[in-house]
Amino acid sequence: MGLHWGTESLRTLMPEDMWLRIQSVQVDPSTPTAAKDAIQFLNGQTGELMTSVPANNFYRLRRRKLRALLAKGLDIRYGVRLDKIKYSEDGKSATASFHNGPSITASLVVGTDGARSTTREILLGPDQGSIRTLPYCATFVQARFTADQALFLRSFHPLYLASINPAGYFAFFGLHDLPDPEQPETWTFFFYISWHSPLDEQEATANWSNAQRLQQVKEFSKEFTDPWKSAFNWLPDDQEVWYMSLTDFDPGAEGHRWDNKGGRVTLAGDAAHAMTYQRGQGLNHSVTDARKLATAIGDFYSGRKTRAEAIRLYEEEMIARAGGEVRMSTTNTEMVHDWQKVLKSPIMTKGMTKVPDNQAKN
């Protein structure tokens, strides 16, 4: 995951000794984060540099390692599934009940259960609360290569590289894990190709096998220059891949405003604002939610604000900020898959900076 403008929010949520370990959860723990860097966007067919997007203090974090670091000292109960939420008559608490675990009563329930959030569907109903499937798909790969192949692939950039292909594809290539800098054969790379895929096509291919998905993306890769062309070509016939539709959920859209029951239930992260990833904004908004929500909880816990007021203000800021980004990111996804529009896309014109909501209403 990419963390850039959201870095300060994450840092304020972590004890200093924990923040000092942030380097250990990066894809390459052996190389300090560069104060100034850029993600290069190439023409996927020719390799020509299209633009360099500033990526200063850009942390490339491994999800699993970051989660393990942040979980230290927390009471996390895995393997349970939310069933329903009930609210006390006195207006002071909410009780979350689970299919396969004990109920928990608290002053505030926060749904942070991802893009396909059960909490969101409980609050809004299955229709308004469901994720929206977009007419775009992607196939992802994580793979290791021989030492010589790994050195060749990493020679294009030590951490990350993006490309936009005139044939209508977008692609990313990056390092996923570097356990030993001296043994390139142990390095894991992460790469994908995304493309426009109408919903009827997605439905028609929903049951495709891993082998079919691999063959499909290998065919797409023939339209690319290196490193994508070689990386896909070198994959074995049994390589595991991950195919998925692109989706979004805009909390600012009509019918998407949930009742927070006087500040007793709310949403954050992907549960509140699932967005596409070609502009690299999801993690930054999620950790900003956490910081803003922590402030809101402090406000009502200390008595500076009522709980209803504190959570209302949190939601208003979050919906304006992240809802705008959902719309901006979806627009960006549409444009980077259309060669006639790509140069006007947000990633080309605004980079990865946080975009004010009034600029995201296209």
CATH code, domain carrying 318? 3.50.50.60
- What is the signed CA dihedral for 135, 137, 267, 83, rounded to 10 degrees? 100
The strand pair at 160-165 and 38-43 is best described as parallel
Identify the domain boundary among 215, 248, 281: 248
Same domain, residue pair 139 and 126: no
Q: Give CA separation, 165 vs 2, 203, 267, 336, in Å.
A: 22, 25, 36, 9
Considering the domain boundaries, does residue 23 fall inside one? yes
Average of per-residue pLDDT across 339-347: 87
First-to-last CA distance in the chain?
27
Tell me how crowded residue 234 is: count the other CB atoms within 10 A of its CB: 14
Q: Give CA angle at 322 (344, 297), nearest 5°.
A: 160
Considering the domain boundaries, does residue 362 fall inside one? no
Considering the domain boundaries, does residue 127 fall inside one? yes
Query: Residue 358 pLDDT > 60, yes or no?
Result: no
What is the percentage of the chain residues whose pLDDT exceeds 70?
A: 98
- What is the signed CA dihedral for 32, 37, 39, 42, rounded to 10 degrees? -120
Q: Which of 250, 252, 127, 139 is nearest to 192 (CA)?
A: 139
Tell me how many domains the chain contains: 2
Same domain, residue pair 231 and 112: no
Task: Determine what percent of the chain falls in helix, strand and coil, rounding each to the nearest 5.
Answer: 35, 25, 40
Same domain, residue pair 289 and 148: no
Instruction: Report the chain's mean pLDDT, rounded to a whole number.
Output: 94
Same domain, residue pair 255 and 238: no
Average of per-residue pLDDT across 232-239: 97
Domain that residue 87 falls in = 77-131+249-350
Contacts of 224 (CB under 8 A, 6+ apart): 44, 45, 163, 165, 169, 171, 193, 232
pLDDT bin (cut points 50, 70, 90) of residue 356 is low
Same domain, residue pair 220 and 266: no
Same domain, residue pair 229 and 196: yes
pLDDT digits 0-9 by tens, 35-69:
888 889 999 999 999 998 888 889 999 999 999 99
- CA distance linking residue 353 with residue 270, whole number of Å: 19
pLDDT bin (cut points 50, 70, 90) of residue 269 is very high
Identify the domain boundary among 186, 216, 248: 248
**The pLDDT of residue 290:** 97
Question: Are the beta carbons of 311 and 267 closer than 8 angstroms?
Answer: no
Omega of the bond prior to 346 within 30 degrees of 0, cis?
no
- Look up residue 27 and give its amino acid: V
**The pLDDT of residue 362:** 44
Same domain, residue pair 121 and 190: no
Q: Which of 243, 175, 236, 186 is nearest to 209 (CA)?
A: 243
Q: Give CA angle at 149 (143, 155), nearest 5°.
A: 100
**The pLDDT of residue 343:** 83
Alpha helices in the chain (DSSP H): 7-12, 16-19, 63-70, 118-128, 147-154, 199-204, 210-221, 228-233, 270-273, 282-302, 307-336, 346-349
Same domain, residue pair 295 and 150: no
pLDDT digits 0-9 by tens, 143-153:
999 999 999 99
Write a three-state SS string for 25-51.
HECCCCCCCCCCCEEEEEECCCCCEEE
pLDDT bin (cut points 50, 70, 90) of residue 355 is low
Considering the domain boundaries, does residue 69 fall inside one? no
Name the token pair of 52.
Answer: 């360099």
Identify the domain boundary among 217, 248, 279: 248
Considering the domain boundaries, does residue 68 fall inside one? no
Among the listed ranges 103-112, 263-272, 337-346, which one has the minimum average pLDDT value? 337-346
Q: Which residue has the higher pLDDT, 282 or 351?
A: 282
pLDDT digits 0-9 by tens, 181-197:
999 999 999 999 999 99
Same domain, residue pair 30 and 9: yes
